[in-house]
Amino acid sequence: MQIDLTGHHIDITPALREYVDSKMQRLERHFDHVTDTHVVLSVEKLRHRAEATLQISGATLHADATDEDMYAAIDALADKLDRQLKRHKEKIGAHRGNGVSRNA
């Protein structure tokens, strides 16, 4: 997975880069076909915002999270993307008809 990390009004430290990398690697355990990830970290007064766009086979997912702490915002962002990936994977499985029933 290619991760592009940018910052608005914030310097991207090696610790932040490692933290984002570790959280985004967690997403690959659910869906192997993540090709490109663009993460933007920004600070506006006391609001720390993390947003990401994932290019996966067949779709583009976008999520953002805001918190008072940048690490908490990154955690929330990873959780949102994780839920979106699971939902996307289930939708693909149901669409292909490999045993997943909608009426169950």
Convert the pLDDT of each residue in 18-66 to its tens digit: 999 999 888 888 777 788 899 999 999 899 999 999 998 878 999 999 9
Q: Which residues pair with 66 in a beta bridge?
A: 49
Entry pTM: 0.84
Q: Tell me the two tokens of residue 3.
A: 């991760």
Taking the CA atoms of residue 30, residue 31, residue 37 and residue 41 in that order, the dihedral angle to the nearest 10 degrees is: -20
Q: What is the pLDDT of residues 84-94, one digit of tens each?
A: 988 988 888 77
CATH architecture of 2-96: 2-Layer Sandwich (3.30)
